[in-house]
Amino acid sequence: MLQQLLITIGAGVASAVFFFIPAKGSALALALGVFAPLPLLIVALGYGARSFVIAGLIGAALVAATLSPWLGFVFLAFIALPAAAAANRSLTGGPGAGLAAAAGATIVADWLAIVIAGAGYESFDAAVADLSGRFQPLVTQLFARMESVPGDVSAADFSTLLVYMVAPAMAAWGVFTLAVNLWLAARIVQVSGLLPRPWPDIPASLALPSGAGVALALVLGVALFSSGATRIFAATAASGLVAALAMQGLAVLHFRTRGAPARGGMLVAAYGATVVVFPWPLLVAAFIGLADLFHPLRRGLSVPPPDSQKT
Indicate whether 78 belongs to any domain: yes
Full-model pTM? 0.91
pLDDT mean over 162-181: 94
Indicate whether 153 belongs to any domain: no
| Mean pLDDT, the chain, integer | 90
pLDDT in tens, 283-308: 999 999 999 999 998 876 654 555 54
Q: d(Cα 134, Cα 114) in Å, to the nearest integer?
A: 17
Q: d(Cα 81, Cα 2) in Å, to the nearest integer?
A: 25
Q: What is the pLDDT of residue 9?
A: 95
Indicate whether 72 belongs to any domain: yes
Rounded to 5°, angle at Cα 247 from 189 and 236:
110
Contact present, 199 and 308 (Cβ < 8 Å):
no
Indicate whether 52 belongs to any domain: yes
pLDDT in tens, 28-80: 777 888 999 999 999 999 999 999 999 999 999 999 999 999 999 999 999 99
Domain span at residue 44 reads 1-93
Indicate whether 177 belongs to any domain: no
Domain count, the chain: 1
Indicate whether 68 belongs to any domain: yes
Indicate whether 287 belongs to any domain: no
Indicate whether 22 belongs to any domain: yes
**C-alpha distance from residue 28 to each of 25, 38, 67, 145 (Å):** 8, 17, 21, 27
